[in-house]
Amino acid sequence: MISLCRIFSILLVTLCTFLSLFSGQARAADENLVDPGQLTFREAIADTSDEQIDPYTGQLDLTYTDLYLPGDGGLDLRIMRTYKSSRVTNTAMVDGKLGYGWDISFGRVKQDGNFVTIELQDGTTSTAVRETYGSNYFNTKEFWKLYMPIGALPVLQLTDGTTITFGQGSLQGYLATEIRKNNNTITISYDSDKINTVTYTAGGSSKTISFHYATSGRRHLQSITWGSPSRQITYGYAADDQAVTSVSLPGGDRWSYTYQQQAINLRSAYILRTITTPWGGTVTYGFDTFARG
């Protein structure tokens, strides 16, 4: 009886160890489970419509639409600016188009073995898993379908009929070069990994948005122009040029941002501290040493 109990105990410990290892691997494979709103039983906290704070991780996400041009067939043209505190706290800081923590993108995909991380224009991320062994198709829990064959461009099909082609390679994966829906098209051209122009074509006519960058220093985005007469969005930076400190919109609205250098996860991070809205309000954020807001 004693020997049987010992055998049972050994088997139980072995099973628990295996399950914990498997759980850890699954968690590592889908880091996007900690993104705000990805779990239905964990609601994000938000004081404003452009803000989301994950109550589980403390991660701060901000999403702004700097430019909106309504289109045809359900495909509108949006220039969206996103901030994620995880970009400066969870990984080595990447100096994006607007500095640390910020990005303007039309989407990207990045493969890691049988898993692919998909990020949409608004910063929403999800992990796609290969359908079957050796298949070129990957699926997400949102029922997005990604076709990613070796030697060809990745193509993502969303549930609303939108098709996104990723054709520009970068250190952060493949960047979106074309978005199609109901015979309307958004085409994105690049200079290296920086957006150069965005052209929206619908019903035989087209609109082009141009991006302008600094010619020295960190070469951050300085302005976006479009239309006739020309309209402009201007992005300002402090002397250290580490991240955008102001965004001035054509109608006169202006957003302002401040940052602080803080020790996070045993290293220094340049993290967002305050936001001043166009209406004079100020939002202040604080993070502990483990990047929890």
The amino acid that residue 204 corresponds to is: G
Please give the average per-residue pLDDT across 219-224, as a whole number. 96
For residues 85 and 59, the answer to whether their CB atoms sit within 8 Å is yes
For residues 173 and 117, the answer to whether their CB atoms sit within 8 Å is yes
Please give the average per-residue pLDDT across 115-125, as a whole number. 93
Torsion angles phi and psi, residue 87, rounded to 5: -70, -20
Confidence at residue 53, expressed as pLDDT on a 0 to 100 scale = 86
Q: Is 42 exposed, middle or buried (0-12, 13-18, 19+ CB in 10 A)?
A: middle
What is this structure's pTM?
A: 0.81
Please give the average per-residue pLDDT across 201-228, as a whole number. 93
pLDDT in tens, 241-263: 999 999 999 989 999 999 988 76
**Site of tokens 């992990």:** 127
What is the C-alpha to C-alpha distance for residues 133 and 109, in angstroms, rounded to an integer? 20
pLDDT in tens, 88-118: 876 666 678 999 999 999 999 998 878 899 9
**Site of tokens 């400190």:** 245
pLDDT in tens, 11-27: 444 444 444 433 333 43
Confidence at residue 78, expressed as pLDDT on a 0 to 100 scale = 95
pLDDT in tens, 43-57: 555 556 788 888 877
For residues 168 and 178, the answer to whether their CB atoms sit within 8 Å is no
What is the C-alpha to C-alpha distance for residues 213 and 34, in angstroms, rounded to an integer? 33
